Amino acid sequence: MVTGKNNPKPVNTESCPQPDGFFSDRLNSIIPTSDGSVTLMGPYGETYHSTGGAVDESQHVYIECGLRHYMEQREAAGFLPKVINIFELGLGTGLNALLTYRETLRNNFPDLQINYRAVETNPLEPDIWEKMDYAQTEKEKAFFHQMHLGPWDKPFVPASGFTLIKMKENYLDLTLYDPIHVVYYDAFSPAVQPDLWTYEAIGKLIPVLKENSVLTTYSCKGSFRQALHDVGFSIEKLPGTGKKRHILRAVYGSQNSLITGVSNASMAK
Ligand SMILES: C[S@@+](CC[C@H](N)C(=O)[O-])C[C@H]1O[C@@H](n2cnc3c(N)ncnc32)[C@H](O)[C@@H]1O
């Protein structure tokens, strides 16, 4: 069995992460997933995406439940934004960035300027990301290449309405300055990166989070939900995709109550 970050029964357990090198024979190997897209084996014996479907998972968790939900909520409140700032923890393969850019290319949010910032400690080598064939069009392919090859800390504007800045830093050392409206929280799991799923880690976002900002992630770990609640989010467990039963959405500052039920109304379209 392939150990995936979203597999219900990972080989790694929280009390017993595998030592570095344990999976070195498979590190960075390309793994097929159930929706026909690929993912990558990472350094902790976890895949970068769910083996139940890499593209399906990213589209559902981050685009539909995150970005689209934020836009729909703002529109319903009568405040359709012209600019939104997205922050991603873990650029990795760049799949989430590509799917977000696809929204711009398809004009799914007319007149919206998306500023996308992603942090990454371990950039992938070209011989790896070149094998991640997520792009569907020539424009997407060009974006994917330029995103990976381009410089760090410099704005990249592939098209009007979309700006990407990638930062080669440890999230835990980062100081954020620009306001954030949408967070894609996509580190490896709490079992292998416990420091990234704590009150302290999530607290780094608080000074720059806008009221009603939306954070989504694939992990529903109870202590992380509690940490989100403690810093001022209201929390929903939503249906997942593939092998994953639930995912998490947290909205900052609106109600400050812990919601643990599953909301079918929030399923992706
Ligand atoms: C589960 S993968 C997901 C990557 C990406 N979102 C994608 O779709 O490919 C987690 C990513 O977070 C990065 N990462 C882990 N810890 C980090 C940290 N402390 N700061 C920044 N990036 C980190 C890893 O190197 C990896 O690329």
Q: Which residue's CA is the closest to the ligand 1 atom numbered 13? A: 90
Average pLDDT in the chain: 88
pLDDT confidence bin for 27, thresholds 50/70/90:
confident
In this structure, what are the phi and psi dihedrals at residue 116, rounded to the nearest 5 degrees?
A: -115, 120
Q: Which residue's CA is the closest to the ligand 1 atom numbered 15? A: 187
Helix, coil or strand: residue 235: strand
List, in order of start, the domains of the chain with CATH numbers. Answer: 54-266 (3.40.50.150)
Q: With a 6 A CB cut-off, is 122 part of the ligand 1 pocket?
A: yes
Pairwise CA distance, residues 231 & 228, whole Å: 5
Give the model's pLDDT for residue 21: 42
Q: 191: CA distance to ligand 1 center in Å?
A: 14
Q: Which helix (H) or strand (E) holds 3?
A: none
Q: Which residue's CA is the closest to the ligand 1 atom numbered 3? A: 48
Q: What is the total residue count of the chain?
A: 269
Pairwise CA distance, residues 52 & 27, whole Å: 19
What pTM, to 2 d.p., does this model score?
A: 0.89
Is residue 131 over pLDDT 50?
A: yes
pLDDT confidence bin for 243, thresholds 50/70/90:
confident
pLDDT confidence bin for 256, thresholds 50/70/90:
very low
Other C-beta atoms closer than 10 Å to the C-beta of 130 total: 12
pLDDT confidence bin for 6, thresholds 50/70/90:
low
Q: Which residue's CA is the closest to the ligand 1 atom numbered 27? A: 92
Least confident range of 14-23, 62-71, 187-196, 255-264: 14-23
Residue of 186, 192, 217, 244 best suited for mutating to test ligand 1, as the one with most atoms within 8 Å of CB:
186
Is residue 28 over pLDDT 70?
A: yes
Are 227 and 268 in contact by the 8 Å Cβ rule? The answer is: no
Give the model's pLDDT for residue 25: 59
Q: With a 6 A CB cut-off, is 171 part of the ligand 1 pocket?
A: yes
What is the arithmetic mean of pLDDT over 237-242? 95
Least confident range of 13-17, 57-61, 235-239, 256-260: 13-17
pLDDT digits (tens, 9 = 90+) for 200-239: 999 999 999 999 999 999 999 999 999 999 999 999 999 9
Q: Which residue's CA is the closest to the ligand 1 atom numbered 24? A: 90
214-248: b (≥16 Cβ within 10 Å) or e:
bbbbbbbbeebbebbbebbbbbbbbbbbbbbeebb
The closest alpha carbon to 158, from 214, 98, 210, 247, belongs to 98
Q: With a 6 A CB cut-off, is 233 part of the ligand 1 pocket?
A: no
pLDDT digits (tens, 9 = 90+) for 141-191: 999 999 999 999 999 999 999 999 999 999 999 999 999 999 999 999 999
Other C-beta atoms closer than 10 Å to the C-beta of 9 total: 8
